[in-house]
Amino acid sequence: MFHPRRTLRALLPALAAGLALTALPAQSAHAASTLTNGGFEADGTGAATPGGWSEYGATAASYVESGGRGGGHRLSHWASSAYKVETYQYLSGLANGAYRLTAWVRSGGGQNAAYIALKNCGGAEQRTDLPVSAAGWIRIVVPVRVTNNQCTVSVTSDANAGNWINVDDLTLTQGTSGTAVKGADISSLAKSEARGGAYRTGSGTKGDALAILRSSGMNYARLKVWVDPADGYNDKAHVLAMAQRIKAQGMKLLVDFHYSDTWADPGAQSKPAPWAGHTYTQLKTDVYRHTYDVLSALKAQGTTADMVQVGNEINGGMLWSEGSTENWPQLAGLLNSGYDAVKAVDPATSVALHLAKGGDLAGTRWWFDNAVANGVKFDAIGLSYYGYWHGTLYDFQTTLDDAATRYGKPVFVAETAYPFRLDSEDAHENIIDLAGELVPGYPATPAGQTQWMKDVASIVEAVPNGRGLGVFYWEATWTAVPGNGWDPADPSSGNGWENQALFGYDDRALPAMSWFGHR
């Protein structure tokens, strides 16, 4: 646990709180070509200025104390009044090229800004914010390209009274990082538009939702497909039509097969009505034919799927009861039938298996261990991670990293979202509508929604060995439009999700779209 109190307060007199941080001196007394004392072990508890590092601003707020992640000590920023402080190290004599800074961090949140940066490296400064994590250490990375043989490693806090961060075990190595997928599920869009839904830029200009999302940096769209839905949407025909619009925007396409006529998730995996009563052998054929039918039609019109999910949140299996996890050999047969259909259409299309509960390490291991033991074929792992349901950011990082390493596959967030307000725009109660349901440190505001997405993306970016593919925001365009509610069989049903869309109640693009610009 953290100790939000400096161990030896009398080491340095406090400077004026709120001292502005300006440009660093050209060099410091600690210039070196390798990062020095990245674990903050050189001095012991109470060091006012860590060995190898320099400080600027309210220097009394930056110090070494006991309680390191790997060793015995850590860097902390904290003060009893508002403060701005930077702990930095200037490196010179670097070989030009790509570098990646890795740091382990914790933060109580509440700062105006708290981030790790690489700057003065010859190009644009690169920053990664510290996620809010009061107990578990989170690993973040910052990539940069050095072009002038020098670089400054910086830890900065612009904080309010009592705000704190811990930083430890920094390493600077050659290499890069980033995320290839900056996506969103937009399955609700066609029905929304048909019912009168409107979408606007941040400044209020009415436009095409896909174009607005693309201009913010979105590069991948996710579409669910149902077999015979009651409202006729999210079927093959609508997926084909939307795929043309997606590809016309230069985006890639993920097709999410639910193998149902309605929502499939850990609590419901009902068979489509046309498949009811079919034997297990018939169901394998159903899965193959349906998958092949949709994907071959997409390919025929020039909009080949780039990735496919065989099943949606299949923690308990799919096509119950035949495909339940109570019968792994049968579930494996159904999953492989879908995999084979995908590859028969286009071997280059990646096949993902998608579970919910992205912070459940034990559950994720149990599922994929069984899948591997039963010969299930897959190319990637997708996890839903909603922080208000699925554990802490620490739990999420632990599960994501473990899945990538244990199974040697790329991983991605298939679904996440966060509210920008709590009240409802329609008569239907929102899924998340109470302050007590929120993740600590992330308020239900446009800024809180933005920070959540940036921090989730940063955790995916930090997956070891470059196996973090990226993130899909769930239902970015599902605003409150009469007739476009939860139940495809009930036109009067409302939407419990409009406070988590990426368009506000005024239909304008929200600031959280900026996360699409993540590295």
Catalytic option among 41, 65, 86, 313: 313
**Cα–Cα distances in Å, from 382 out to 13, 115, 282, 308, 470?**
51, 28, 27, 11, 10
User: 475 an active-site residue?
Assistant: no
Contact between residue 250 and residue 214 where contact means Cβ atoms under 8 Å apart = yes
Is 50 in contact with 33 (CB distance < 8 Å)?
no
Is-catalytic flag, 415?
yes
Q: Which residues of 83-97 are buried (b: 16+ CB within 10 A; e: fewer)?
A: bbbbbbbbbeebeee
Catalytic annotation, pick one of 415, 461, 475, 498: 415
The sign of the dihedral angle between the CA atoms of 113, 217, 121, 145 is positive
Encoded tokens for 509: 């693009």
**CA distance linking residue 11 with residue 369, whole number of Å:** 53
Name the strands in the sheet holding 164-174, side by side, starting at the edge strand that comes first in the sequence.
62-66, 73-78, 164-174, 97-107, 133-146
d(CA 34, CA 89): 10
- SS3 string, 463-482, reads CHHHCEEEEEECCCCCCCCC
Beta-bridged to residue 127, according to DSSP, are: 117
User: CA 183, 185, 187, 193 torsion: positive or negative?
Assistant: negative
Q: Which residues are catalytic?
A: 313, 415
